[in-house]
Amino acid sequence: MTTELQVPSTMRAAVYRGVNDVRIETIPVPEIGAGGVLVKIHTCGICGTDLKKIHSGSHDAPRVFGHEMSGTVVKIGEGVSDFKVGDRVMAYHHIPCGTCYYCRKQTFAQCEVYKKVGCTAGFAPSGGGFAEYIRVMDWIVRGGLVKIPDDISFEQAAFIEPVNTCYKAIQLLALKPDETVLVIGQGSIGILLAALARQTGATVLTSDLYPERHAIAATFGLDHPLDARGDVVGAAKAATEGRGADVALVAVGGNALIQLAMDSIRPGGRVMLFASTQHGEAPFDPAAVCMDEKTLMGSYSASVAIQDDVTRLVFEGSRTGFDLTRLISHRFSLEDAVAAIELASHPQPDSLKIVIQPGI
């Protein structure tokens, strides 16, 4: 038995059909099972991992990508008691089992259940946010569906998942107020990482090619911009009595930047890789790790352990000036999703977070 609003039998979706091939199609609205819900999408951000999958062919077709999403519950399955039709929600697409070895070690992204995607617009589960409706499966409803308060916008709530990934990285670094952090890249994720690092009391230097991005970063209190075309290593040392930054965060996927990050930190400092999500080889000086005691580390995806903290941060931030909607530079309708993906794939000086909104 289900409870539902009037839901059509078909919907529009941006369907991945192969490498660099996304098409706007009419497909069936997904059916839900016991314990699941159907959500009508309001906002879905385009993430760099979506783009890498589209351009690399790492996943078979057809699929509907998109996972930074918020919307309204329009149908609930048997046994669902914590949500009702009309609830405004955001959905995580990964939730771990909570009991395996990796979960016990709080390395949730390596859990086999976590690797299963629990939201779909049809086809193989892949998030599904680039569509009008998504099916949220039972284990996500139990652990990864978050109610949005009436005074919080869908756009602000759609940032919960990417903020979680950034907050996780900042927590792993355990920053201290007397430390200096260099964030390489000031796209939307780089700005989030830098803003969260600043909240620890650390001094934050931000590096990017575009003054337009530095201008948005400045609205988050990030007031130490560096021109990425200049001497970033020298600037990091100049800001730290010649030592180098305590931490460098690499928020861009270019492997060549790893050496830049290693050169920018002091002996005993840490480099955090955040955007290096494709396999390959990256040269760096092993003696810098051994003799200079520099640490090279990584952080990937979200953590269920900080879910409540992140939810509070995003919701309270909307009320206290941490307005993440400032990061949205472009809003596209679902019918224009291919153009949205194209722009996101070729960032411009004035482009940051690009979102798809089926209702516009």
Report pLDDT digits (tens) over 234-275.
999 999 999 999 999 999 998 999 999 999 999 999 999 999
CATH number for the domain spanning 338: value is 3.90.180.10
Q: Is residue 318 part of a domain?
A: no
Residue 230 inside a domain? The answer is: yes
Over the range 112-135, which residues count as b (16 or more CB within 10 Å of their CB) and which as e? ebbebbbbbbbbebbbbbbbbbbb
The domain in which residue 230 lies consists of: 164-298
Contact 140, 33 (CB under 8 A): no
Which has more pLDDT, 353 or 284?
353
Q: Are 109 and 38 contained in the same domain? A: yes
DSSP states along 270-323:
EEEE-S--S-------HHHHHTS--EEEE--S--GGGHHHHHHHHHHHHHHT--
pLDDT digits 0-9 by tens, 82-106: 999 999 999 999 999 999 999 999 9
Average pLDDT, the chain: 97
Contact predicate 205/235, CB 8 Å: yes
The span from the CA of 30 to the CA of 141, in Å, is 16
The Cβ of residue 290 has, within 10 Å, a number of other Cβ atoms equal to 9
Work out the average pLDDT over 308-323. Answer: 95
Based on the domain organization, do 169 and 142 belong to the same domain? no
48 located within any domain: yes
What pLDDT was estimated at residue 3? 64
Final residue belonging to a domain, choices 298, 313, 332: 298
pTM of the model: 0.97
pLDDT range class, residue 2, cuts 50, 70, 90 = low
Provide, rounded to the nearest whole percent, the portion of the chain with pLDDT above 90: 95
Which residues are within 8 A (CB) of 256 and not within 5 positions of it... i.e. 6 or more apart?
Answer: 282
Is 314 among the domain residues?
Answer: no
Residues 18 and 143 both lie in one domain: yes
Domain with 274 in it: what CATH number?
3.40.50.720
Contact 250, 184 (CB under 8 A): yes
> Is 73 within a domain?
yes
**Section 273-299 average pLDDT:** 95
Same domain, 136 and 212: no
Cα–Cα distance, 101 to 109 (Å, whole number)? 12
Residues 119 and 207 in one domain: no
Round to the nearest angstrom and report the end-to-end CA distance of the chain: 32
132 within some domain: yes
Cα 176 to Cα 42, 242, 246, 288: the distances in Å are 38, 19, 10, 23
The answer to whether position 156 is within a domain reads: no
Q: Does 7 lie in the same domain as 142?
A: yes
Helix (H, G, I), strand (E, B) or coil at 197: helix
Using DSSP, state whether 58 is helix, strand or coil. Answer: coil
Last residue of a domain, one of 281, 298, 315: 298
Specify the 3-state DSSP secondary structure of 229: coil
- The SS3 assignment for 344 reads helix
**DSSP-H helix ranges across 130-231:** 138-143, 154-157, 160-173, 188-198, 211-218
- What's the average model confidence in pLDDT over 129-135? 98
pLDDT value for 232:
98
3-class DSSP assignment, residue 125 = coil
Is residue 16 within 8 Å of 61, Cβ to Cβ? yes
Same domain as 285, residue 261: yes
Residues 76 and 21 in one domain: yes
Say if residue 175 is in the same domain as residue 236.
Answer: yes
Within 8 A by CB and 6+ apart from 335, the residues are: 12, 24
Number of structural domains found in the chain: 2
* One domain for residues 109 and 234: no
Give me the half-sphere count of Cα atoms (radius 13 Å) on the Cβ side of residue 292.
21
194-236 pLDDT tens trace? 999 999 999 999 999 999 999 999 999 999 999 999 999 999 9
Confidence tier at 5 by pLDDT (50, 70, 90): confident
Residues 143 and 7 in one domain: yes
Residue 283 pLDDT grade (very low, low, confident, very high; cuts 50, 70, 90): confident
Across residues 55-69, what is the average pLDDT?
A: 97
304 lies in a domain?
no
In terms of domains, do 253 and 337 share one?
no
Convert 169-194 into a string of H (helix), E (strand) and C (coil).
Answer: HHHHHCCCCCCEEEEECCCHHHHHHH
Q: Are 18 and 90 in contact (CB under 8 A)?
A: no
